Structure 1
């Protein structure tokens, strides 16, 4: 029977005072806390399985609250996410959920988060994101980014930016989002990484690929985290590595 192995971790990094990232893997969520070691979970393919990372906005209130609201909502909706339309509706609902919570508490006003993830179906994959957290396909002979960064165009020679052009929440009043959602075929042997920019900003794609060519599962998740730490760990680091087996 086809299955998916998900190895995941979340860490504060070396600079931030606390973790504003959250993670969902099926019914399991990890919100604003730290895993000492990668956790590996196995799921049969069939019922839609959502795996997503939400990165609370730094420099604004309660990023960890916004990211936790989103992953918990996705965990509850996960089994119903069987189409692009369902995923778009779920992400838009997450956006409204963040704004509703912020509107009820002055200390939460302006909180926001990015989100990026995948939904695994029996033989296909739904990819979605708002913001600059990423979904990467590491199945073939090179790394391929499947998500779409919501960043302004970068000047020549600049690889990263902290500016994000759309997020879930993040402003004083409700602002609509346009989620990026696509469908891809899914095959045994496919591998994917879902991560916050605490991994991809400090670690170039070539270095990520070097790790993934050598390691898999929990060891790969650990080595990716270590690469971000070795690069200075400037942000929270949250990632999930998925492998489809049989």
Structure 2
């Protein structure tokens, strides 16, 4: 049974969260948390907190690890009230890691259990992310989808390490994509990535998800879904798309959309994000000292004298002049580059991290549209074969519009209509077919 919740806050924020076991797993090792503040004043101080955790481990270990991560991060973030939000979030994730590690070390059944942990804070200063693992946080803004977090996976780490070197895509394709390099639990200490703050704008849509969603659904399709649908329907369609493509893993999605000017232009948006003592020390720079012009003139005269001495065959004088010039030149360079170390002025606005790490424009080419058409047609055929009750008039209307746009070569509009058609079909099929994938052969009746 899928877990879900949705919220609207102060007329300026829409939230939808959904978690599903998928088609291949017997239990759901994903957990999510949504902590919406009750008052505007609380939001100005601490913001809204959203958490996605994808557990790893045999039997119930992964499920326990992700549950502890979500519960403890939410609890500990409130506990660190004396810290600024970004530092409180980091401390909460680090302490949650220690709790999971101790629990794993105390019970052989939970040994080395782990979980990813991706957190999103929406504050007056903007969006701040705390991140460990390969669950993702995306932002859709003005038709561009950006991945705001870095995957702590073998594939991403190797690609980052070989950036600028020429390797074929086949080399990267051979790297296992499900091997992660950082998680909560296996070790008593963990490095937490912080990203942000990214100022908020009306229309910004954030999506957090486990790899059960980002694996089967491409970034191009994610951009189309977030651009075309409100949060509740977008989250559901992400789950449906992943399940239709086999649902190989648990699937968790949180969609958060900024809908009001108040949250984007709050008077507290210019407040400092962290305390001065938490800031990294400003960079140092060595002052370059000017070399006196008279020194250069003197060296030039010595060289000229050495030249005359050489001309008049006085080797000792020539050698002495050359040596004086060399040593004086070395002294001049040492003098220039050993000036006083001074601190550079600190940046007025400090930002964590290096995100975004990828960008995808919200458009569709013929391949995206064709893949969605095939999925729509297969789903329609499965519904007919199983004789499910479907509002075929609406489905045919959506499909006809998509086919028309496809023939015109407008692949963006065609893709949007196919997605809407898939969503409409799945909404009607869901109650009739339980948790089975309608595209699986064993979900269809034996007509022989």
TM-score over 0.5 for the pair: yes
- What do you get for the CA RMSD once the two structures are aligned? 2.3
In the alignment, the residues of structure 2 paired with residue 200 and residue 71 of structure 1 have an alpha-carbon distance, to the nearest angstrom, of: 20
Alpha-carbon distance in structure 2 between the residues aligned to 1:25 and 1:78: 13
Alignment match, 1:88? 90
Which residue does the alignment assign to 1:206? 220
More deviation, 157-166/118-127: 157-166
Q: Distance in 2 between matches of 1:70 and 1:27?
A: 18
**Which residue is equivalent to 1:169?**
185
When normalised by structure 1's length, the TM-score is 0.85
The offset of 1:82, in angstroms, is 4.0
- The counterpart of 1:187, out of the listed 191, 201, 220, is 201
Mean CA deviation greater in 120-129 or 110-119: 120-129
Conserved? CA contact 2:130–2:194, under 8 Å = yes
The structure 1 segments of at least 4 consecutive aligned residues displaced by more than 6 Å after TM superposition are none
Pairwise CA distance, 1:116: 0.8
Judge which range, 187-196 or 64-73, deviates more.
187-196
Task: Give the CA deviation at 1:176.
Answer: 2.0
Q: Could you tell me how far 1:59 is from its partner in structure 2?
A: 4.5
- Structure 1: runs of 5+ lacking an equivalent: 29-41
Aligned to 2:29: 20
Give the Å deviation of 1:181: 0.4
Q: 1:1-246, aligned counterparts within 5 Å?
A: 3-26=12-35, 45-46=43-44, 47-59=46-58, 62-79=61-78, 80=81, 82-152=84-154, 153=158, 155-157=171-173, 161-170=177-186, 174-183=187-196, 184-246=198-260
Contact persistence 2:30–2:54 (CA under 8 A)? yes
**Using the alignment, how far apart are the partners of 1:138 and 1:146 within structure 2?**
10
Gaps in structure 2 of 5+ consecutive residues? 1-9, 160-170, 261-448
- Using the size of structure 2 for normalisation, the TM-score is 0.48
User: How far does residue 138 in structure 1 lie from its aligned partner after superposition?
Assistant: 1.3
Q: Which moved more, 1:52-61 or 1:208-217?
A: 52-61
Query: Post-superposition shift, 1:160?
Result: 6.5
SS in 1 for 2:25: coil
* 1:84 Cα deviation after fit: 2.5
CA separation in 2, counterparts of 1:3 and 1:159? 42
Asked if the contact 1:61/1:109 (under 8 Å) is kept, the reply is no
Check 1:3–1:43 CA distance in 2 against 1; reply closer, same or farther (3 A cut). farther
- List per-residue Cα deviations over 1:45-78 (Å, max 9, x = no partner): 4332110100001547610100000100122134
Preserved CA contact (<8 Å) 1:61 1:111: no
Distance in structure 2 (CA, Å) of the matches to 1:8 and 1:159 = 31
- Cα deviation, 1:161-189, whole Å, max 9, x if unaligned, reads 1100010013xxx3421111011112232
Of Structure 1 and Structure 2, which has the larger fraction of its residues in helix?
A: 2
**Secondary structure, counterpart of 1:199 in structure 2:** helix
**Displacement after TM superposition at 1:207 (Å):** 1.3
Note closer, same or farther for the CA distance 1:159–1:214 as it changes in structure 2 (3 Å cut). farther
Report deviation, 1:103.
2.2
Equivalent pair of 1:137/1:143 in contact (CA under 8 Å): yes
SS of alignment partner, residue 126 of structure 1:
strand
Displacement of 1:123 in angstroms is: 3.4
Which structure has the bigger radius of gyration? 2
Give per-residue Cα distances to partners, 1:20-63, cap 9 Å, x unaligned: 001010079xxxxxxxxxxxxx9854332110100001547610
